[in-house]
Chain A
């Protein structure tokens, strides 16, 4: 437990993903089974531990400490696990330290009545960091800023395997993952994913650059619209149906309406979108509407009615026991079309093909797509087999040009890690009229898109033009004739009730610095509103 606690403690304070991966691989190297496997499960949230109510812990803490002192401490610290771990009195003489495996296995066997006493014994034995990790673990909220994906990458790095192989196995494995580690340690064969409806690692596309165009022959390629949703894989096998994200996370819970509608044994690759229930199927709605359904474990009945989801399918990976991935794309496409002729799927339709005669006509289609939910085109080689990862020269994405506006820098905040001495995160605004007065209203925040040299110049501007300081944030001068104009590129715009301006940008970044332009010439909020 102490080693696991130390790992969590280090992970929480580590900013860079590479350093997190290094900490994890070091842990896998030095910690034996089953301890390391339980740690993987705990971090990837695959660990089902008997719930232990936070209220029980507070009661236990208050048995050792005055409730007023506990309350003052909690108010100051702001985190229950941390408060209890710090105020818990140190008991001398208890020297048996539980391992993570002890904790998981013991709690699995213990009755609800026994649990508090067992936990109390562990809290007595552990140090504050150990207690903190134990409480986080048993109250089910590690929140240490490590994505499941990062753990899979670390496992792959540890075993020197492609991460897709880990993703492919993932849903067939069970904690504490001893089979997986045996394979990664070269002590056993690769485990066979016996689980039904497994995830198949996805194939990704490269962005088209000018130099690529001559290599891409229209007669050997097929084109589809690029939909502005999220990439998913929908699988059904012998009664088991699942929906996976592109990295293999199971998101069935949030999209039960879609999962329930899978009526044949197959594995589809497509784009998850939401549609307007009051219009004929499937009138695609904005990404903002889809976002309301994302990152939820379950979705209310009302949400399912007002924001119904469906999949616009563009590939077929597996059908009734047959793996189609080694077939050329054109063949898979034909099989897919046939399937859609034979079935009327309640929550799926087929992503249509787009004619590709030459680059010029395709450029026109890309510039003026028939629907807002289209963010460009996908160009796929007709004979491409389906390979996980991002193989060169097989699939291409050609996104439409980003939206561009000129905005004025209003606030700047210091960055993290290597950028902690630079003001690198900028809030910018556009003009609007309020009672006849022109004022700047914040419309977004950007922290990328500039070179190191430009960052130095921006940082210098911030330091020399600070109006106010609010902790790590500085307000910078933004007068009609004095300030910085940032040319902002962004992918789309959503209505937002949370932002003062009423709009929220998708993926805003700095396209260019307009030192030449006075702030008075930056764009109006009305320009943005017109894009909605």
Chain B
């Protein structure tokens, strides 16, 4: 069996003709396997959805209970058959519930890793490499300039700045699903016990994380009740919000905020400067260059397919290291929001 007979790219996304399903399709399809809950991978309107219970809950929270006609939850490590094709989920370490889709048929194993990272994250299960014939990888940070520093050091920088500026609030822009909860959990792990203030758009997802036993400590809405409190109440506090809110009218309620942005892109100084970020926090839910290349070595696949991001550089690395790789040039996946 040729690899492309089991999975191949189509305009709607990666398609498995034998099992008649798509993985992370970018448009509505009859049957979808969803690796994780980020909007560019998990869309509403599919006939049937196979995903982890956590991802299922995230999709329901974002799109409403009717996001699909048929839900088929599958826990990490478990296996089902779809039209004679074995599908199982291995942890991807990206966000809560994120999984690699492992597709097995007649002795051929292909792994679609979705988005992933390798370093420990208190809010999700650690990535597990699965030996396979074809490994399908992302390449969001697929350039050797991206080597994410230690998470904990980044959090200590944030806390040091909070301590140094007791009169200012710290506005941390972070992707609402995953990054925000990870930051909160990491701050807790550094011993920060103060209440953390969150933007209204994050409440639902934070509650959802809590319902899966991820303890985020005391969270408060970053709002001023009519007639009560003053903007000065936010001085010396940490507020977590979606990146778009930092430049929104919403942000005006905070006194002279230190604009922080938690993203792997913050590694590039000009990116931080362009966005008016005063304290860049280099923190990513995607694998950096070393994590990507280590993973490719560990899974030791016969072929590497690169879905989105900086494909060209990762393919070049494979070439230099005697590995067969190609770019799938899938459209519809965004990396700017990271």
Contacts and interface: CB of A to CB of B under 8 A. Distances in A.
A83 B320 CA distance: 20
Contact of B143 (A12, A76, A420): A76
B19 to A, nearest CB: 36
B276 A12 contact: no
B315 to A, nearest CB: 10
Contacts of A9: 269
Contact of B248 (A14, A82, A421): A421
Given A14-B278, A68-B316, A73 B249 contact: no
A12 B273 contact: yes
Interface in B86-117: none
Contacts of B193: none
A83 B247 contact: no
Given A12-B269, A82-B268, A421-B249, A73 B143 contact: yes
Interface stretch (A350-358, A379-387, A410-418): A410-418
A459 B251 CA distance: 14
Given A69-B144, A83-B145, A86-B267, A420 B256 contact: no
A194 interface: no
B322 to A, nearest CB: 14
A76 B259 contact: no
A87 B144 contact: yes
Interface residues of A, number: 31
A94 to B, nearest CB: 17
Interface string A72-98: 110011110011001100100000000
Contacts of A77: 145, 268, 270
Given A66-B316, A416-B276, A73 B144 contact: yes
A15 interface: yes
A13 interface: yes
A414 B247 contact: yes
Contact of A73 (B145, B276, B280): B145
Interface of B: 143-147, 246-252, 256, 259, 267-270, 272-273, 276-280, 310, 312-313, 316-317, 320
Given A72-B312, A421-B250, 12 more contacts: A12-B273, A14-B278, A15-B276, A66-B320, A69-B143, A69-B144, A72-B316, A76-B145, A86-B146, A132-B269, A420-B259, A421-B251
19 contacts: A12-B269, A13-B272, A13-B277, A13-B279, A65-B144, A69-B143, A69-B317, A73-B145, A73-B313, A77-B270, A78-B270, A82-B269, A83-B145, A86-B146, A87-B144, A87-B145, A132-B269, A416-B276, A472-B247
Of all A-B residue pairs in the complex, the 9 with the closest CB atoms, nearest first, are A86-B145, A87-B144, A72-B313, A73-B145, A421-B251, A420-B276, A73-B143, A68-B316, A421-B252
Interface of A: 9, 12-15, 65-66, 68-69, 72-73, 76-79, 82-83, 86-87, 90, 128, 132, 414, 416-418, 420-421, 459, 463, 472
